[in-house]
């Protein structure tokens, strides 16, 4: 079985590497020559725990290869996964340009039966568009070649992607033919041996499942953020409320944390795209819209707390712990930190930042902001008038507070992820605020 994975980003590279780990021959293809050149030298374009080791191992075994030449790779493929980006278009809908470009190339080059699987997150109906584009290209070439399409949305979490892919909660597959089911069965058999569940369904349901999952999680986060904001006003502690409601099995205790809003490459764009799909179909998805609105406001909650403490922030030194949208990733797409840093910069603050992994990516994205990039969590607090915790990296959980206190100018700590105990911090001499905590 030979699989070609088109798009070698967070999803494509992890998918390709994990399939190779299970013994499948994989070629990962990307149009970004620099990315492929680096991968061929053993340099991964992303930070993802455990990934580098697996890439190295599977390249050495000859099961994992990288290429920029899709047409050549199609020659050898039994199954082609499309894992290219689906960024938001100007109106919020998913931009399918990359997905349809890949379909076109497949149609232009396919000479034998292939199963074409969409792994990118795409609106309902996209797999049919992919099918149509491939067929049109085959017709142009006068070729009568059988092929199938399938939808296999990805549920991995950045920061835990390898482990999620190798031991998935579930694998969702949308299909139209028995032949496609046979191929997907063979491909995922090594993953299901440990009892992991493959859920087969029709293609539109599979496409919809991915959006419904992300929207549900986004609504849950925004709901807890609203509860947190109200807790502050009424003298309740959201951490207690979370434990209180999370013990109800109908609610469950996962994904109930309040903070400075969701970010990353998926929730923000998928929530927008789902809302757009609703409108196109005559349904206003009001909960989905509300989740987005709450999130937009939540990103600046910590900044507003700081502004309430220092109405004039000009010349104040603000230290930042954590920049990536969540721990264990270098991904900065839609990270709340981007919004907070921009807001601080407009106030004329001196901004000192530290993140264990995402500093290079921040430099690239915030080239116009004057930020002081520091070596570690202690250097960054030098002379700080306040410290803002934005990403809950493990190394921020138990810092040596004496060292921090020695260096800071004013002991103000704003905890955007509720990882510290307010009473403990106050006992240490800090002015402390979390999100909805006491
Ligand atoms: N990142 C996540 O956590 C995650 C999780 C689940 C699903 N998804 C979905 O998976 C898809 C990919 O996301 P990602 O984060 O991996 O994106 P990414 O931006 O990291 O990677 C996409 C890659 O596709 C390449 N590409 C674009 N056009 C191409 C073409 N014609 N041929 C070959 N390569 C091409 C780009 O150069 C890039 O390397 C998106 O639809 C996303 O919503 C992402």
Compute the distance from residue 39 Cα to the ligand 1 centre, in Å.
16
- How many Å apart are CA 112 and CA 126, to the nearest integer? 23
Compute the distance from residue 83 Cα to the ligand 1 centre, in Å.
5
- How many Å apart are CA 222 and CA 227, to the nearest integer? 9
In the CATH scheme, what architecture does the domain 2-210 have?
Answer: 3-Layer(aba) Sandwich (3.40)
Q: Which atom of ligand 1 is nearest to the CA of 101?
A: 31
Q: Where are the domains of the chain?
A: 2-210, 299-433
- How many Å apart are CA 97 and CA 111, to the nearest integer? 24
Tens of pLDDT, residue by residue, the chain (438 residues): 899 999 999 999 999 999 999 999 999 999 999 999 999 999 999 999 999 999 999 999 999 999 999 999 999 899 999 999 999 998 989 999 999 999 999 999 999 999 999 999 999 999 999 999 999 999 999 999 999 999 999 999 999 999 999 999 999 999 999 999 999 999 999 988 877 789 999 999 999 999 999 999 999 999 999 999 999 999 999 999 999 999 999 999 999 999 999 999 999 999 999 999 999 999 999 999 999 999 999 999 999 999 999 999 999 999 999 999 999 999 999 999 999 999 999 999 999 999 999 999 999 999 999 999 999 999 999 999 999 999 999 999 999 999 999 999 999 999 999 999 999 999 999 999 999 998
Pocket of ligand 1 (CB under 6 A): 6-12, 29-32, 35, 70, 83-86, 98, 101-102, 120-121, 154, 156, 158, 265-266
Do 83 and 119 touch, CB atoms closer than 8 A? yes
One fold for both 2-210 and 299-433? yes
The string over 221-242, giving b where at least 16 C-beta atoms fall within 10 Å of a residue's C-beta and e elsewhere, is bbbbbbbbbebbeeebbbbebb
Q: How far apart are the first and last CA of the chain?
A: 57
Compute the distance from residue 29 Cα to the ligand 1 centre, in Å.
11
Q: Which atom of ligand 1 is nearest to the CA of 119?
A: 10
Could you tell me the fold of the domain covering 299-433? Rossmann fold (3.40.50)
Q: Which of 265, 324, 361 to mutate to test the pocket of ligand 1 (most atoms within 8 A of CB)?
A: 265
- How many Å apart are CA 149 and CA 143, to the nearest integer? 17
Collapse the DSSP code of 361 into the 3-class scheme (helix H, G, I; strand E, B; otherwise coil) and give the result.
helix
Closest residue (by CA) to atom 23 of ligand 1? 7
Q: Which atom of ligand 1 is nearest to the CA of 153?
A: 7
What is the reported pLDDT for 193? 82
Using alpha carbons, list the distances in angstroms from residue 242 to 120, 249, 330: 33, 13, 29
| Catalytic site positions | 266
- How many Å apart are CA 12 and CA 245, to the nearest integer? 37
What is the reported pLDDT for 62? 96
- How many Å apart are CA 336 and CA 339, to the nearest integer? 5
What is the reported pLDDT for 194? 75
Closest residue (by CA) to atom 35 of ligand 1? 7
Please enumerate in sequence order all residues whose Cβ is within 8 A of that of 372, keeping only pairs 6 or more positions apart, or say none.
Answer: 350, 351, 352, 353
Do 380 and 353 touch, CB atoms closer than 8 A? yes
Q: Which atom of ligand 1 is nearest to the CA of 32?
A: 37
Nearest to 39 by CA among 18, 11, 13: 13
Nearest to 47 by CA among 338, 361, 260, 262: 361
């Amino acid at each position: 079985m030979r699989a070609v994975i088109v798009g070698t980003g967070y999803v494509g590279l992890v998918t390709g590497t994990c399939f190779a780990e299970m013994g499948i021959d994989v070629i990962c293809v990307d149009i970004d020559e620099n990315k492929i050149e680096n991968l061929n030298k053993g340099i991964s374009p992303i930070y993802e725990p455990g990934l580098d080791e697996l890439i190295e191992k599977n390249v050495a075994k000859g099961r994992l290869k990288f290429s920029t030449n899709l047409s050549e790779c199609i020659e050898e493929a039994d199954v082609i996964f499309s894992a290219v980006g689906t960024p938001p278009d100007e109106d919020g809908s998913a931009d399918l340009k990359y997905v349809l470009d890949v379909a076109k190339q497949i149609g232009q080059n396919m000479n034998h039966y292939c199963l074409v699987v969409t792994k990118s997150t795409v609106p309902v109906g996209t797999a049919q568009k992919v099918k149509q584009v491939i067929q049109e290209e085959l017709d142009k070439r006068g070729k009568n070649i059988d092929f199938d399409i399938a939808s296999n949305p990805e549920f991995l979490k950045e920061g835990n992607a390898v482990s999620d892919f190798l031991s998935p909660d579930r694998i969702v597959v949308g299909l139209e033919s028995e032949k496609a089911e046979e191929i997907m069965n063979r491909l995922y058999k090594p993953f299901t041996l440990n009892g992991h569940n493959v859920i087969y369904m029709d293609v539109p349901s599979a496409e919809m499942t991915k959006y419904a999952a992300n929207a549900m999680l986004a609504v849950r986060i925004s709901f807890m953020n609203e509860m947190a904001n109200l807790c502050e006003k009424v003298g309740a502690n959201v951490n207690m409320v979370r434990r209180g409601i999370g013990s109800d099995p109908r609610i469950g205790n996962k994904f109930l944390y309040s903070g400075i809003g969701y970010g990353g490459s998926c929730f923000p764009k998928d929530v927008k795209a789902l809302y757009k799909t609703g409108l196109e179909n005559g349904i206003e998805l009001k909960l989905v819209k509300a989740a987005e609105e709450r999130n937009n406001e939540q990103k600046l909650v910590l900044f507003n707390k700081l502004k309430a403490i220092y109405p004039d922030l000009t010349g104040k030194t603000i230290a930042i712990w954590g920049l990536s949208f969540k721990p264990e990733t270098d991904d900065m797409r839609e990270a709340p930190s981007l919004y907070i840093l921009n807001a601080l910069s407009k106030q004329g603050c001196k901004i000192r930042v530290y993140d264990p992994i995402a500093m290079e990516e921040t430099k690239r994205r915030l080239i116009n902001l004057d930020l002081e990039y520091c070596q570690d969590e202690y250097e960054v607090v030098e002379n700080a008038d306040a410290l803002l915790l934005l990403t809950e990296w493990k190394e921020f959980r138990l810092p040596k507070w004496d060292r921090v206190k020695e260096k800071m100018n004013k002991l103000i700590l704003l905890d955007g992820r509720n990882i510290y105990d307010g009473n403990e911090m106050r006992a240490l001499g800090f002015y402390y605020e979390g999100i909805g905590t006491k």
